[in-house]
Amino acid sequence: IQSECRLRGSTGVEMEALTAVCVAGLTIYDMCKAVDKAMVIGEVKLLKKSGGQSGDWGIDQ
């Protein structure tokens, strides 16, 4: 699951992007729990951000 957020402003929106991914994962879990109750929601991580006070950042940087 991937999420992309864009904003015209001085603050980042990485928390909103992470929240979107978590909500999507929980929705998929809710739909599939009848099939597999042992299902696991895996790693959630920020891959890249640009702008904001801390500037650009990415896992590959």
For residue 52, which of 28, 2, 16 has the smallest C-alpha distance? Answer: 16
Q: How many domains does the chain have?
A: 1
Measure the CA–CA gap between 39 and 33, rounded to whole angstroms: 7
Residue 44 has pLDDT above 80, yes or no: yes
Q: What pLDDT score does 25 carry?
A: 95
Q: Is 3 part of any domain?
A: no
Average pLDDT of the residues in 9-28: 89
- 21-33 in b/e form (b: 16+ CB < 10 A) is beeeeeeeeeeee
Q: Is 6 part of any domain?
A: no
List residues bridging with 49 in a β-sheet.
Answer: 57
Strand, coil or helix: 22: helix
Q: Give the domain extent around 30.
A: 14-55
Q: Is 4 part of any domain?
A: no
- pTM value is 0.77
Q: What pLDDT score does 61 carry?
A: 52
Residues acting as catalytic residues: 30
